[in-house]
Amino acid sequence: MHFDLKYKDSQSKARAGELHTEHGVIETPIFMPVGTAGSVKGVHQHELSEDIEAQIILGNTYHLFLRPGLDVIEPAGGLHQFINWKKPILTDSGGYQVYSLSGARKITEEGVRFQSHIDGSYHFFTPERAIDIQRSIGADIIMAFDECTPYPCDYRYAKNSMHMTHRWLKRCFNQMDRTEPRYGHTQALFPIVQGSVYDDLRKESADTIAFHDAIGNAIGGLSVGEPSEELYAMTDTVCSILPEDKPRYLMGVGTPANILECIAMGVDMFDCVMPSRNARHGMLFTSEGIINIKNKKWEKDFSPLDPNGTSYVDTTYSKAYLRHLIRAKENLAIQIATIHNLSFYLWLVKEARKHILAGTFATWKNQMIPKLNNRL
């Protein structure tokens, strides 16, 4: 696996690149739809690949470990075979999900003991176990096991947590060296920068992560409730330290405007549940702004869902029809809205890439941001 940096924007820190994996080439900047339990909710793999044009999707170690379990995924031939997905997959280590179980987990130097949200059973994740599980799942890109600190978080806790994450990282790399991929394709381990919203901690963590010279690097512990200003400040700080010739993955971010601002700071890869989760509540993202399809103003609007949209759903269905489906709690509503939102997110990063390559990214971004934040 390797990354080719193809072009750097002269007016910002935005970049266009290619991440080469054995399941295909990922053109960056890229957005990765979240398929937590081996499924992007409400979307067939065919639609993900052919209509939404996702180039890589996410799976989650914590959820897949609990259900269906490695005793199902391994004999299937790994997650690619199990879900019939031909393109690259990235798995989160499970650290964030364990963090979100704050009342049902205990963190020690050795690892994390947690209680399943499904049946209450107890499990113990160590850095070594997280790597072993991700070897069994078989994703192309696997994440280091880290502790995601909450927001707000006091300085001492953030510092101690960061240092533990760094110690865990060494154990992750050691376990990678001791084990082999199970399904014949290369797996790359991405370490994760932590440090909460403290500039000096983020710099120290970014230096430590850069030292490991991994194929790619991630920025974690953001998009957990901090103001956008903090998100941007920390992202900018870290991107100025992480090596230029490696892809940078900002975990869990964000709104369309967040994504464009962070591309301008040098981020290459993004994931977020927002396009799919918000779709289920009737929120649609478009190039002209945000639509709450539940609002009465769309009741008799028979115009296409999004005349500028790239998915078949955008011109097949009307705003009035989708509003009706959402209000009637029809499953089809979730499917249409999710396909629309994910298609829009993929369109947005493709447009960003196109403008980076053309040298017009900064101007285009400044025109787009106000529109993206507009409530229609």
Residues marked as catalytic: 92, 271
Percentages (nearest 5) of helix, strand, coil residues in the chain: 45, 20, 40
Q: Pick from 101, 92, 85, 169: which is nearest to 134 by CA? A: 92
Answer yes or no: are the C-beta atoms of 16 and 29 closer than 8 Å.
yes
DSSP type of residue 372 = H
DSSP codes of every residue in 178-203: H---SSSS--EEEPEE--TT-HHHHH
Q: Pick from 96, 42, 90: which is nearest to 216 by CA? A: 90
Which pairing describes strands 122-125 and 141-143: parallel, antiparallel, or unpaired?
A: unpaired
Residue count (the chain): 376
For the packed helices 319-327 and 331-358, what is the interaxial angle rounded to 10 degrees?
130
